[in-house]
Structure 1
Amino acid sequence: MSSMFFPTFQLVPIKGVLLSSKLVASILSNSLSIISSLLDSVVDLASGFTLWITALQMRKSRPYTYPQGRRRLEPIAVIILSVIMASVSVQIVVQAIQTLYNMAVYDQGPPIMSNLTIGLVASTIAVKIILFCVCVKFGRGGSIDALKNDQLNDCLSNSVALVFSTLSARIEHVPYLKYFDPTGAILIGTYIIYSWWKMGAEQTRNLSGYSASPEFLQKITFVCVNHHPSIERLDTVRAFHLGSNFMVEVDIVLPKDMDLHQAHDIGETLQKKLESMENVERAFVHLDYEFTHDPLSEHKVA
């Protein structure tokens, strides 16, 4: 079972239990900060289920329908989730602004924070910290990053909700503190909007074929130059994103009089070596015997 699939599957029932706990806390307190955190958890549970379904679909091999696999389902799912999470957070911010207005104009009271409510929210924070550490242990990947982002968002949003709602409810002799509860909801919503916008923008950029970093290109160049003594020079080195991983294209220059089977073996072994590198999904090695032409003239430029 892959490292991406395992935590995605395992966290869904845990999130359901935490959601129930937060629902009870929201009903008991009527705190907008906690309610906003509850809505975040609802979408969070849906996101976990979505990533789980995505992981299942990626594991199914369909070589004729999807010759290169379906690994790009992962960043697509993350983009969809980022839109949903940001949309829900916008609604939270709007509701919080409305509550601030009602408090100022109609003297709406603060929430009610009992010891039970505080205990429920605090226990949720503790569990989320543990889940974040579990996600960190499972390594990297689009889905894993999304899950880590979820846990971190929940830890921060629950902490802000707990502190701001408790200050708003428990310190009654300071009138302006009642505004802390909707203010906390605004902070939570704004942070979630930014966090998911950043992740969605990164995945969109990668799906668009964004170039690899200069350091990664240097690593590819080093591997190619040192692959075989018959390689006279490199004509072209390209690497760009295909979702979370890279597509690599290299043009190597071999002696003009080299036999076809020798040239083929050099190119094929280099291709396999490149594809064995971390984060390389597919590599193409083109063979040439001269380098005076324009590299862009060999391929269609989109």
Structure 2
Amino acid sequence: MVLWCNRAKVGVRKFYEKQNDLLEAWKEDEKVLTTTVDQAAQAEKDQRVKVWDTRLATITIILNVFLIIAKTTAAILSDSLSVVASVVDRLEPLTTLIVGLIMVFANLLVLQEAAVDSVTGNLHPKVDIPTLVILCTGTSIKAVLFLICRSRNTSASRVLAIDQRNDCITNLVALAGAYIGHRYWKYADPIGATCVSGFIIITWLMTVREQIPLLIGKTADPQLINRIVNIDHDGSMIGVPPIGHVAISHDDRIKHLDTVMDREISLCDAHDVSETLQNKLEQLSFVERAFVHCDYQFDGDEHV
């Protein structure tokens, strides 16, 4: 009996903690939506951010193309499995799922080659000046790009920063494995290749796992739904009856909102409500793009 009471108290406490978190989130949303900002200045600022993010993405793509060529040359010159593994890492994804699987299988082949060469003793890594220059230069450039992208602190630049960080890690491990294998202990090269390939495989498997729910769609978590419904039922938007039903799905930061309105509302009012709601949702930090769909019944096709 005492144990049951304790569990009940814990459950009640967690419930009220969640309610307090939700109330705080509502206050934050209300503050964002009621803050008056110079729209022209904000739009200009957002445009500058987008321009810089686009430039960083373009520089990264161009640099990756050159690094693929340079690191392929280094792999041929050094005959190092570690460098080969880091070259595979730079295959630019065309689509996340397909390339993710290709990356996994390609690195499994590198692991197989490392195991076979370790057993047979067919290991001849060599790291000369050109190989060192190529790998060190590429790593240095990637490190600088990582610092620049991290300092931008936007969603796009954070993704680029993670990419640069991973490149620096794989490059350093590949360089260390190849150099130690050439100078001191030849088995350091396949060990380095195993570390690089294992890191890439785990990273891409996690990426593929994250993409699967985004392909099939998923509903938002309850707290996000409550925050959006709170805005959805804000009677101050326009002088019309409140929306009666809300269904929310999302694709990461893209929210799809299906609403049911009174069938007597005019097309003009329905448009104004939907547009106002969409604009308000897109001001929230966890929403990048919002789509609002209107209907007059609960059992309508959500795709119509």
TM-score, normalised by the number of residues in structure 1:
0.68
CA distance in 2, matches of 1:139, 1:86: 29
Q: Deviations over 1:139-166 (max 9, x none)?
A: 325xx67644542332111111112222
Q: Give the 3 Å change call, closer, same or farther, for CA 209–122 of structure 1 in structure 2.
A: same
CA distance in 2, matches of 1:259, 1:98: 72
CA distance in 2, matches of 1:189, 1:259: 59
Would you say the 8 A contact 1:271–1:285 is kept in 2? no
Would you say the 8 A contact 1:78–1:146 is kept in 2? no
Aligned to 2:182: 169
**Secondary structure at the residue paired with 1:33?**
helix
Unaligned runs of 5+ in 2: 1-46
Q: Deviations over 1:95-149 (max 9, x none)?
A: 111121122xxxx3442223443333122111112233444437325xx676445
- Residue in structure 1 matching 2:75, options 26, 42, 62: 26
**How far 1:182 moved relative to its partner?**
0.6
Unaligned runs of 5+ in 1: 51-76, 172-176, 289-294
Aligned to 1:222: 230
- Residue in structure 2 matching 1:283, options 283, 292, 296: 292
CA distance in 1, matches of 2:252, 2:293: 17
- Residue in structure 2 matching 1:117, options 124, 128, 131: 131
Q: Give the 3 Å change call, closer, same or farther, for CA 17–221 of structure 1 in structure 2.
A: same
CA distance in 2, matches of 1:234, 1:82: 42
Number of residues paired by the alignment?
Answer: 249
Aligned to 1:60: none
CA distance in 2, matches of 1:5, 1:206: 24
Would you say the 8 A contact 2:83–2:174 is kept in 1? yes
Q: Deviations over 1:61-94 (max 9, x none)?
A: xxxxxxxxxxxxxxxx222332232232222112
Q: Does 1:37 align with 2:50?
A: no
Aligned to 2:104: 86
Aligned to 2:270: 264
CA distance in 2, matches of 1:244, 1:91: 36
Q: Give the 3 Å change call, closer, same or farther, for CA 114–80 of structure 1 in structure 2.
A: same
Would you say the 8 A contact 1:86–1:196 is kept in 2? yes
- Residue in structure 1 matching 2:248, options 235, 239, 242: 239
**Secondary structure at the residue paired with 1:178?**
coil
CA distance in 2, matches of 1:97, 1:82: 23
Aligned to 1:71: none
Q: Does 1:202 align with 2:202?
A: no
Alignment of 1:35-74 (within 5 A): 35-41=84-90, 43-44=91-92, 47=93, 50=94
Q: Give the 3 Å change call, closer, same or farther, for CA 200–163 of structure 1 in structure 2.
A: same
Deviates more, 1:144-153 or 1:216-225: 144-153
TM-score, normalised by the number of residues in structure 2:
0.67
Instruction: Give identity over the alignment, percent.
Output: 20
Alignment of 1:289-300 (within 5 A): 298-299=299-300
Would you say the 8 A contact 1:86–1:193 is kept in 2? yes
Residue identity matched to 1:102? T
- Residue in structure 2 matching 1:98, options 99, 105, 116: 116
**How far 1:242 moved relative to its partner?**
4.1
CA distance in 2, matches of 1:121, 1:259: 65
CA distance in 1, matches of 2:65, 2:139: 14
